[in-house]
Structures are given as C-alpha cells and as structure tokens.
A and B are shown apart, each in its own frame.
Chain A
Amino acid sequence: MKDIMAGRVKNTSVSRKRLRRLSKNITPYLLMSPTIILIFIFLLIPLGFAVYCSLYRCDYMQFTKFVGLNNYTDVLGDPEILMSFARTFFVSGISLVIALIAGVIVALWIHTASKRFAYALQIITLIPWVTSMVVAAMLWKWILQDEIGLLNYFLAEIGLPKVGFLTNKNIAIYTLIFVMTWRVIGYVMVQILAGLKAIPYEYEEAALIDGASGWDLFWRVRLPLVKTPLAISATIVGLSNINNLNVPLTLLAGGPGTSTMVTAIKVYRMSFTSYHFGEASALSIIMCLINFILVIFYVKEVKYEFKNA
C-alpha cells in the first residue's frame, strides 16, 4: 500500500515537473505570439503576396498570365530603372554622409554647451525629424519655388538672380539631397548624443590629463566609443533614404525631366498610375533584397554592441 502511494506521489511530482518544464518552454512563445502574429499578418503575408504578384502579369490586380521571372528581367533590363537605382544610391549616399557629419558636429556641440542652449539646440535639430515628411516637403517646395518662393524672393531683393531650385535639372537633385539630409540630422544627433553621454567621464579626464588636445579627445577617445551608434545611425538613415517616397514625390515628383526619378517613385508610378502590379512587385522585391543586405549589417552591429556591453 505504502509502495503504491509512494508511486502515485512520485508520478504526480514527475508530471508536475514535466508540466513546469513545458510551461517554462512555452511561456516565452506565448508572450511573443501577439507580435509574431502581427508580423505574420502585416509583413510576411503581404511579402509573400508581392512575390506571388511578381511572377504574374498583374494589371489592375487581374492575374492574367504566369510570366515567371520575366518581370524581374524586364525591370532589370530597363535602362530608366537602372538609372533610377543609380540616382537613389547617389542621393542616399551623399545625404547619409552629410547627415552623419552634421549630426556628429551638432551632438558634440550639444554635449559641450550650457544646459539651456543645449536643450534649445536639441529641440531645433529634432523638429525636422518629427515633422511629417509630406508637410516638410510641401513647405520646402513653397520656399524654393521659382516664381513665388521665399528664397528666390530674398535673392531678388538683394539683387541676385533667381535660382531654379526645383526647375533646373542640374540643381534639383541637390535640392532633394538637401531636404532629405535636413530631415535626418536630428535622428543622427540623438543617437550620437546618447553615445557621448554614455562615455565615462574618467576616460576623457584621463586623456586631458595626458595632454590631449580637443581634436585628440574627439578622434582618439570619443569617436571610437560612439562607433556603434554611428554605424547603427548610418544603417537606419541609409534605409530611410533609399526607401523614401514622400519627400522626392512631394518635392519634385521625379522632375524636372527625370533628374530626380528615384526607384521609390518608379515603384509608385508603376503601381498607382499604371496599375502594373506585376512589374511593380518585382521592383519592390529587388529593393527589399537591397534593404536586406543593409539590415544584415545592422543586426551584426547590434550583436557586436550586446557582446561587448
């Protein structure tokens, strides 16, 4: 009898242990499941559908013919689309470099400035980042217009000739770079400033005691220690610029001519002007793959941060 009871107790405690182990294994997944479901519904399913669309002739969402990889070859064989890729990388790259340099400078300025001035400067720098992209692009469009723009008005008032910021094809692309850079400097500043604040003061103090100049302090102490936030900012800003549709479309709509026709506008026009969803999906998937490469870089940098934390 005692043995039987002991056996029952043993079985109950074993099953309780199993249940506890199961619960421990499943609980994290249950907690993550809402997010996973949302990612599945709003990211993976649409992505899968886009891949499916890209394999068909799909005008006005009518799947008329399976074309396999023809949409991809058509898109990659179109010189205009290849030029749009070149423009996208040119605009994104230059905007990124300027934004990083400007962001670092502003972050350093805020880091060393008095409290009130630093606070004011942070707000001013962040305003472009928090302003809606379309609103910001519309404002700049009105400021830079040839006939009724504020900037050309002031230029005319001081006797200078008007500049075709939006109508001269050699200048328009730099106008686009300017507006895109203006928008992201705030984000870079915040990331770098956080990195600077995280540097223990003892490091800087030790460097100063050892006779380091201002430049040495920046180049040998601060910059190496903000390398990771800098790399992460570069990745995020790069992704943001490459995929940005709102600013180029609102500001210039790809013009004048095709001088600012970036890939995002091409995808938009293919989808919502021509309603050729097959080709548009193919081009979107190609853009997605390019983004994926940048994301791999980003994830590696974040892992580096965690490993070395």
Chain B
Amino acid sequence: MKKTMSLVLALVLVLCVITGCTPVTTQQTPSNQQQTQSSNEGKSVENVKLRMWTFLDLSSENARAKVLGKLIDSFEAENPGVEIIVETQEWSTMSAKVIAGHTAGSCPDIFMINMANLGEAIASGCMEPLENLFYNNWTDKQKADIDSELFRAGFDGKYHYEVPLFSGTFGIMYRADLFEEHGIKVEDIKTWDDLVEVAKKLTYVNKDGLQVWGYGVGYSTDVTDPHGVLPTVLFSQEGSIFTKDGRPNNWAGEQGQKGLQFQIDLIDKHKVMPPSCVALTSEEVYNMFEAGQFAMISGGSIRMPTVKSLTAFDPDYVEFMAYPEWNAGQGSSIANAYAWNTAVWSGSKHKDIAGKFLEYLVSPAADKMWVTEANQIPILASTLEANKDFINTPDNRWMITAQNIMKSSALVFSGQYSITGFALDLQNAMIYAYSDGMSVKDALEKAAQDFINRNVDR
C-alpha cells in the first residue's frame, strides 16, 4: 500500500513539474506554418525573425491584442520569410527593461516605451531615428497626417524616434447610471468643489449592502500613474510639472500645497474616498470601479475599452470626462496625455524590416483597425476624418471626449529630459503627508528632492 501510494505521489509530482514548466510567453502567429511552407515553395526567403516587446498578450481576448495579431499576420503574409515574435512584458517595468537591455547590448527589434521613460530612452540612444527608416520617404501630406504633440514628444530637434500608439489622456471615468439615479448632470461639474459635492451624493451604501464611494484614486507606490488632484493642479497652475531643464517646477509652492491638501481632504474631511486609497494601486482602483465600488475614478481613457468589458454593471454606463477646473473660468485642469511610443532598436540587425513593420502599424489601414476594432484614438488625422460616423456614436462618445481633452487641456511631456518616477514622487508626497504625518509643504519638498536625487543630480 505504502509503495503504491509513494509511486502515485511521485507520478503526480513528475506530472506537476512537466505541466508547470510552461514555455516563455513568446507567441508565434498562426501564419508561421504557412510562411515556412510558402518559403519552402521556392519564393525569395530572408528568414528574418523580429522580436517585439509589448504589454499585449496575443493569446488574450483583449481587442488591441487581437488587432496586433491580425496586423502581424498580414505583414508576414505580405513579407514571406519574416517572422514576428511577440514577447509580452509587464507594462510598468517594460520601458526600463528596454533601456537596461540596450545598455547590455540585447534588446528586441521593436518595443514600446511609455511617456515617463521617453526622455531617458532617447538619451540612451536605444531608438533608431525614423528618418533612417521611412520618414524621409514620406510625402509632406503623410508627415502632416501623423503630426501631433505626442509625435513631436519624440523629436529632439533633429530626428523623430517613435510613433505614438495607444494614445490617451487622464480624466474621470464615471457611472452615468448613478448620475442619472441621483439627478446629477455632468455639465454641473465645473470645478473640483462641484465634484466634491457630487461625490458626497454618490457615497452611500447601496441596496445590496455594498459601500459605494463617490471618488477613487490609488496612492500606492507599488504601481503608479500620475493620477490625483496634485498633478493636474501643478500642470494647470504652474504651467508644467517640470522646468525646461527637467527640475520639479515649484511643487512645494502655494498651488501644490493646496492641491495636496485637497487630496487629503477628499479622504478625511469630505469622506468621499476610503482611507484605504493610500494602499490601493491604480489596477485595484480600476477593479473596484468595475465591481461597482466607486462612482467616479481618476483614470486613463486608454482603459475605457478594457474597463467596459469587465464591469459588473451595464458597460454602456461607463463614461469619460475631463478633470474639472481648479479655478472657476480657467478651463478644465490639465491632464497628462500619453501614448505607448513604439520604436525600432538602434542596435537591431534587421532595422529595415523592423522599420517597415513600424510603418505598417501606423498605416491608414492599420489605424482604421486600431480605431474600429480596438476602440483606440486615431493616430492619423485622416483616420479621424474617415471614421467620423463610427466615432460619433454613443458607445464611442468617450473617444471624442478624450480627443477633445488632448486637444484643449492635455499636456505632453518633452522627451528632452528624464522624468522617470515623477508619478511615484507625487504619490509619495501624499504618503508622506497623509500616512507619515509630515506637513504638506515638507512632504512636497521631500518629494521634489527625491526626484532631483534620482534624475537630476546624477
């Protein structure tokens, strides 16, 4: 009996080891077999393998991942012998890994860098200028079509380095059904004080006994985004979060102090945010919104399709609006616009093919797919024009809102200096003041000094 049991347990262990040893999440598109076949049929073969780093998992149901998969398939079909291998990475660490990988001499041929690391990436020399790839072959019309602040963020005065995929801006995601239920109109939220009043009405225990909070932001320093009132106040009142030489721009000044105090008051004084917000990551805030625990959250427009697909309530009620005004009549508070800056590695052995694929990703046909199948904001001005009917529908209203915010009140960081970790420092200011008991001014001064120590005085 004992021997039998031992044998069974040993077999179970071996099976676990075998099944547990999953391969690295590199995904090869289904057309690879076809490619091998067609290449064996005597066509000219380059046998080029391109590695691409992205946060998208091609095996998932995510709309962007599906579109990327389709684009890879069609590119491979049009370019026999070329194989694109997608390696999925964690979004919050991918950019820094690219920069470190470039220094170590090993990087994927195509990668995505977030806005916060763009300056660092350009300075490291890991991105191949688009002028060396395809940009110089474009007509003036094509160049004008892609021109935007986000595209210019990757321009150092001489070269362009990236194409901005998956652009968006931060703002407020809200539940239109709860607004309707409580007789609230979006147009009535003009200032942050108005938002507080609305949030108070939306902080209650619902009929299922679930505590609903009026407003939600995550201040955990584990995974950070530039959410909250403080970044928008610094943007709006100081003009920019950074000076021209990349230093914090008066973070501990009067406006910064007011912004940070306002954040604290949302929890302590107005009680429209739970105290646990200091420990919540932005991912957890999205999850809680999807579960119906927040009526409004500070969020990125890029998350709208994903959030809508995961809500416990009718997804049609998820809407998006700009941050309110800090001072009445001043216009909505400025938010940070962002994109995933897609580029070719400067050390790639297949720059020409990688550049061709990059160009393909922002072609009018591809851009139409990004918009219509993955609900992304158009990269090209011509796509916006050509797909007006699709975008001007109730389901996609939020895209118009996000586009308007990006045009009127969103700020794009320059790629000319390093701003790595600034969101962490601004979150830390909240942590220092709320949890560690520092004064608001001291907390902001310390946060600014942390940023300088890490990025400037090196």
Chain A interfacial positions (CB closer than 8 Å to B): 57, 59-62, 145-148, 164, 166-167, 169, 249, 252-259, 272-276
Q: Give the total of B residues in contact with A, Cβ under 8 Å.
A: 30
Find the B residue at minimum CB distance from A270. Answer: B454
- The B interface, classified by DSSP as helix, strand, loop or mixed, is helix
- Distance of A147 Cα from B279 Cα, bound (Å): 12
- Distance of A273 Cα from B93 Cα, bound (Å): 8
- Distance of A272 Cα from B96 Cα, bound (Å): 8
**Are the CB atoms of A257 and B432 closer together than 8 Å?**
yes
Known: A166-B276, A167-B279, A257-B278. 10 other contacts (CB 8 A): A57-B458, A148-B288, A164-B275, A253-B221, A254-B221, A255-B220, A257-B435, A259-B436, A275-B99, A275-B100
Find the B residue at minimum CB distance from A168. Answer: B275
- Distance of A100 Cα from B454 Cα, bound (Å): 41
Contacts of B431 in A (CB 8 A): 255-258
Chain B interfacial positions (CB closer than 8 Å to A): 93, 96, 99-100, 103-104, 120, 124, 211, 220-222, 274-276, 278-279, 288, 291, 293, 420-421, 424, 431-432, 434-436, 454, 458
**Are the CB atoms of A60 and B424 closer together than 8 Å?**
no
Give me the 3 closest cross-chain CB pairs, A-B, nearest first: A257-B435, A253-B222, A146-B276
- Distance of A145 Cα from B278 Cα, bound (Å): 12
Contacts of A275 in B (CB 8 A): 96, 99-100
Residue in B279, B424, B454 whose beta carbon sits within 8 Å of that of A276 in the complex: B454
Find the A residue at minimum CB distance from B430. Answer: A257
Contacts of B104 in A (CB 8 A): 61
Contacts of B103 in A (CB 8 A): 60-62
- Distance of A258 Cα from B428 Cα, bound (Å): 9
- Distance of A163 Cα from B329 Cα, bound (Å): 42
Contacts of B120 in A (CB 8 A): 60
Contacts of A59 in B (CB 8 A): 458
CB B217 to nearest CB in A, in angstroms, measures 14
**Are the CB atoms of A60 and B100 closer together than 8 Å?**
yes
Find the B residue at minimum CB distance from A256. Answer: B435
- Distance of A275 Cα from B220 Cα, bound (Å): 19
Residue in B221, B222, B436, B454 whose beta carbon sits within 8 Å of that of A274 in the complex: B454
- Distance of A255 Cα from B280 Cα, bound (Å): 10
Residue in B124, B432, B434 whose beta carbon sits within 8 Å of that of A60 in the complex: B124
**Are the CB atoms of B421 and A148 closer together than 8 Å?**
no
Find the B residue at minimum CB distance from A254. Answer: B221
Q: Select the residue from A59, A164, A272 with max chain B CB neighbours within 10 A.
A: A59
Contacts of B99 in A (CB 8 A): 60, 275
- Distance of A54 Cα from B100 Cα, bound (Å): 17
Contacts of A273 in B (CB 8 A): 96, 421, 424
- Distance of A212 Cα from B212 Cα, bound (Å): 62
Find the A residue at minimum CB distance from B211. Answer: A147
Contacts of B420 in A (CB 8 A): 274
**Are the CB atoms of B293 and A147 closer together than 8 Å?**
yes
**Are the CB atoms of B100 and A61 closer together than 8 Å?**
yes
CB B448 to nearest CB in A, in angstroms, measures 16
Find the B residue at minimum CB distance from A61. Answer: B103
Given contacts A146-B274, A148-B293, A274-B421, contact A60 B435 (CB under 8 A): no
CB A133 to nearest CB in B, in angstroms, measures 16
**Are the CB atoms of B276 and A164 closer together than 8 Å?**
yes
Contacts of B278 in A (CB 8 A): 167, 255-257
